[in-house]
Amino acid sequence: MIAASKDAGTASANDNVDALHALILHQLDEDQAQETISIPLAGKSSIADHMVIASGRSTRHVSAIADKLAQRIKQEAGRHVRVEGLPNADWVLIDAGDVIVHLFRPEVRSFYNLERMWSFGDAPPVAAVN
């Protein structure tokens, strides 16, 4: 009986992570983020279950996407998020716990190439539909 309640708790936690991930991808699409991809990290890294990488057209666009996404996560998921890099908005990191979001200007994204660094042979990045 204890195992069953543990499984129910795990299923609920996974549903929360999936809902947060879906919320983030939806908001990025709404805000016209470009080249959005999601890299599954569950079971491969303890830092998060998903890493989402997207680009904005300019520093102003990156900043606006980051602001709106952080507010939406707080309002709809009730989660406190940490945001780093907002003043320059070349690369903004949003840590929502189970999902980490990297927002870049295109030139900065190609320079750091996080997709390649975090790609695993058995789980390539998944392009989100925009």
Q: Domain with 92 in it: what CATH number?
A: 3.30.460.10
Pick the more confident residue, 130 or 74. Answer: 74
Say how many domains are in the chain: 1
- Three-state SS at 8: helix
In this predicted structure, what is the pLDDT of residue 52? 97
For residue range 5-36, what is the model confidence (pLDDT) as tens digits? 444 445 566 789 999 999 999 999 999 999 99
Task: Please say whether the beta carbons of 109 and 101 come within 8 A.
Answer: no
Domain of residue 71: give its range: 2-127
- H helix or E strand, kind and range, residue 26: helix 2-30
Q: Do residues 75 and 20 touch, judged by C-beta distance below 8 A?
A: no
The answer to whether 127 and 113 have CB atoms below 8 angstroms apart is no
pTM, to two decimals = 0.83
